[in-house]
Structure 1
């Protein structure tokens, strides 16, 4: 029998770092809110970006682009989890079960819906855009999968070299940007998907071992570095991707985004004391426990909810004011409330897939099968984030770094990889 939120909250041991759980929920909630606010849909169904309409708002991404905090929290959690469950296959299944099961359901449902829409010839306008956009957040799943897969070797490097392992990843990010912008080396920039995000992840290892002792230095240095790079270099102001820009700080990540991540990690560590006291309040902790239980489901479906709200407004003939106009801003609270309500309905429908499975992970399991599974998952979800669910029947492709990938191939790899990870980590 599953426990209620109140029972889970009451049973939380005093040794648990509740601030980490609070950061996990707060970072994902900020991402969801940011996506809802950035969407600027016009009366003809075109989906734009508010930050492109009002470029002055791009400075807000220095606070709202909070994915580095989630990856930092992931590093902390992965270190503790691996030390308590050292077998590779068992570790993967334990860490990924609540991530991959809701992701596999999301991919399956949207694949079926996309096929039905395309067979009916209704994949134009906002619907066609939705088939592409709803898959974009899967890039985050792909990066997170890589972090989990690489935790064992990176944790060993951390235990041997400490800050030196982090410094090596930062040096890699610096070298990549130098080769990219100064020497014009093609494709080298994609290495920073690893160097930048794994450096932030490595800070979580340092936090787990109590070695992150100078957060003010980290915050000040990161903020100063990001500001200098944006002011002097080829880096844009926005810390999220913008349509049509020649250089993006996000895809692939840049040294400026790494500095941004450093300042955010330093900032949340500076708030650790009051944040921990807040998380210990019974009402707050119950809310955190409840939110953590559905966080991944809400993240996966929040764009579906938002685009559904806009689609309903267009179908009902509701007014869609010019983005960033006074009427548009006045309508924001209503749109956010509607998107939150639809997300809550979707969470209610799919939350059961985020619950841990009944069978625990074994201490052994097949590590090669697990490694193959997570590799297929990684390629599948990253491929889907690039190509979307459109073109399932036509075989439309998109480039994943330098390799073309189609939607059917991406769906197949993601679902097959999930099944392999599940199988590898189960009891014999």
Structure 2
């Protein structure tokens, strides 16, 4: 008797059955996510966070190059060789949106905790543990990986470049933890105060020749701007659309003026070798740019809330938020893994190991993005459970029904 699998019609029928089973499985997953979502959860804020996560990940993948040269690996940036690509940083540098959502959720969560009889100390401890718990896996894996690379003969400079690439995003978590600790103050502080501090620091640094260490005041003051704005939205309600348009237009205009006539760099991310960085530490240009982003986020919030009523769209956003910290912590590892595997090709691959100094590199890097995405999905499958298990252990803590308040869940 002939094998049914050898009959073209039978193969087609089996393929259709498999596809139907996958669709049914997907519909079941969507229904379960919808049923498990609390009625008071602000899905629009989760959607904003998911967009911000995507911006950070794609931004890092587009402006970070690992150049393989004479047995060593070093980090480079196409923004140094191709300054005309600075507008890329305007699209993908979305940290202000993280802090806006963080302040919003933090203020709601702290108010709910207080109303539920939870002390400030207990609330802060729970938030901090949730924020830093997934970091342990990254540190352990990379401590082992760095040791193994050194033992196998890798150069110290190469190992240092890779480890720095992985660990440098952790500054965000430290700053976010500090801002979370001052959430009660942020709820009362007028959002106009932090920008004035940032402006005074920049005048002292760049205009009066003050010490460079003054800039580190802006690490807290600069990101306190969107955090306070989010806390104000949580406390006083979402501002009118005119406020969103004012922030977007005013922030963009002031930023353009600071870049054109104030001597600030056009790139909103750090560029190796640049005399001044808008991000390290934050400058007034980064703050006004962030205000423009916050204005855009406020304008998008209503449409996002409406679109999140669709169960399928919400399921995608919910899954991203469920592993948000894992995505944030492991996306650079995914880039490094693909780059390392590419070395087995025997010759430097364009867009992966070559100097990012022309348009060919940009096109080749775009072609590598799907591979980075697959590697990141693998990392999420391997380590996402660690983040989710921490969230389940603390599910009973009051958080204002929001769940997430940074790059990850809150």
Instruction: Give TM-score, length-normalised by structure 2.
Output: 0.81
- In the alignment, what sits opposite 2:19? none
Match of 2:217 among 191, 200, 205: 191
Cα distance in 1 between the residues matched to 2:155 and 2:30: 41
Secondary structure of the structure 2 residue equivalent to 1:285: helix
- In the alignment, what sits opposite 1:281? 310
Secondary structure of the structure 2 residue equivalent to 1:83: helix
- In the alignment, what sits opposite 2:201? 176
Displacement after TM superposition at 1:301 (Å): 0.7
Q: Does 1:332 align with 2:365?
A: yes
- CA offsets 1:383-403 (integer angstroms, 9 cap, x no match): xxxxxxxxxxxxxxxxxxxxx
Residues 245-254 or 321-330, more deviating: 321-330
Q: Does 1:295 align with 2:327?
A: no
Cα distance in 2 between the residues matched to 1:307 and 1:125: 15
Instruction: Give TM-score, length-normalised by structure 1.
Output: 0.77
> RMSD between aligned alpha carbons?
2.2
Given that 1:61 and 1:240 are in contact with CA atoms closer than 8 Å, whether structure 2 keeps it comes out as yes
Stretches of structure 1 lacking an aligned partner (at least 5 in a row): 159-164, 364-428
Cα distance in 1 between the residues matched to 2:238 and 2:327: 33
Match of 2:262 among 221, 230, 233: 233
Cα distance in 1 between the residues matched to 2:320 and 2:397: 28
Given that 1:42 and 1:320 are in contact with CA atoms closer than 8 Å, whether structure 2 keeps it comes out as no
Secondary structure of the structure 1 residue equivalent to 2:41: coil
Match of 2:166 among 129, 134, 152: 134
- CA offsets 1:342-375 (integer angstroms, 9 cap, x no match): 1111111111221215356789xxxxxxxxxxxx
What count of residue pairs does the alignment treat as equivalent? 354
Residues 308-317 or 237-246, more deviating: 308-317
- In the alignment, what sits opposite 2:184? 152
Cα distance in 2 between the residues matched to 1:207 and 1:153: 14
Q: 1:237 to 1:297 in 2, by over 3 A?
A: same
Q: Does 1:91 align with 2:91?
A: no
Q: Does 1:343 align with 2:376?
A: yes
Stretches of structure 2 lacking an aligned partner (at least 5 in a row): 1-27, 399-410
- In the alignment, what sits opposite 2:3? none
Q: Does 1:143 align with 2:175?
A: yes
**Of the two, which has the highest radius of gyration?**
2
Cα distance in 1 between the residues matched to 2:308 and 2:396: 30
Q: 1:111 to 1:89 in 2, by over 3 A?
A: farther
Matches within 5 A, 1:236-247: 236-247=265-276
Cα distance in 2 between the residues matched to 1:329 and 1:199: 34
